[in-house]
Amino acid sequence: MQFADVVAKRRMVRAFESRPIPSAVLDRVLDLARRVPAAGNTQGLDLVVLEGEQTQRYWDASLPVERRAAFPWPKLLDAPVLIIPVSWPAAYVERYGEEDKARTGLGESEDSWSVPYWYVDTAFAAMVAMLAAVDEGLGALFFGQFEHEAAVKNALGIPADRRPVGTIALGYAADEQRPSASSKRPRRPYEEVVHRGGW
């Protein structure tokens, strides 16, 4: 698929078939997701991958059984793979404390960073994973963990000093999709978004 087609076809998929993703396909998606830019080549990214029955640990931590009957996207739980992109803030502080980066002052603490690049770089990985999924004929959905982050980290053994940036559900899209209210919002026009030569 041409890159422009991959980007244009990317949609947030909220209903999945339960059929598994072949290992070779999943490995290609994951390999591309780890090949993203990283500030200072820090590489403070980890990908927690749950397949098949392993996904239940995630759902049990983030969507208790008693809430599932009212959940508006029940076929989201059929996604055969969940990927949790995890950032490692301390790795960035440590890297920017090294001799070639120390002059920046970013090696002092996380608070030194006006833009926390551990989130930027991890978000790059999430986007590449979703685009790679489209290229492989899969559907994907990125969603936040919000108030469930601590429970998800605990359930999956994610170290306390790491920060998940969200979750990617991955699989074959079901034929019928129930769009979210947000998906009905019009896209801002090109001329309104692009500011050539300044604002």
Asked if residue 198 is part of any domain, the answer here is no
- Higher-pLDDT residue of 16 and 180 is 16
CATH number of domain containing 116? 3.40.109.10
Pair 27, 112: CB distance under 8 Å:
no
Asked if residue 169 is part of any domain, the answer here is yes
Range of the domain at 34: 3-175
Q: Which residues contact 90 (CB under 8 A, 6 or more apart)?
A: 44, 110, 161
Per-residue model confidence as pLDDT tens digits over 101-151: 999 999 999 999 999 999 999 999 999 999 999 999 999 999 999 999 999
Q: pTM here?
A: 0.94
The total domain count for the chain is 1
Asked if residue 45 is part of any domain, the answer here is yes
pLDDT score for 181: 85
Q: CB under 8 Å, gap of 24 or more: what pairs does 48-52 form?
A: 48/83, 48/84, 48/86, 48/156, 48/158, 48/164, 49/81, 49/82, 49/83, 49/84, 50/81, 50/82, 50/83, 50/84, 50/156, 51/20, 51/21, 51/26, 51/80, 51/81, 52/20, 52/80
Asked if residue 189 is part of any domain, the answer here is no
**Which percentage of the chain shows pLDDT scores above 90?**
93
Q: Average pLDDT over the chain, rounded to whole?
A: 96
Per-residue model confidence as pLDDT tens digits over 156-166: 999 999 999 99
Asked if residue 187 is part of any domain, the answer here is no
Asked if residue 133 is part of any domain, the answer here is yes
pLDDT score for 43: 95
Asked if residue 184 is part of any domain, the answer here is no
**d(C-alpha 22, C-alpha 183), whole Å:** 29
Q: Helix, strand, or coil here: 36?
A: coil
Per-residue model confidence as pLDDT tens digits over 75-97: 999 999 999 999 999 999 999 99
Asked if residue 78 is part of any domain, the answer here is yes
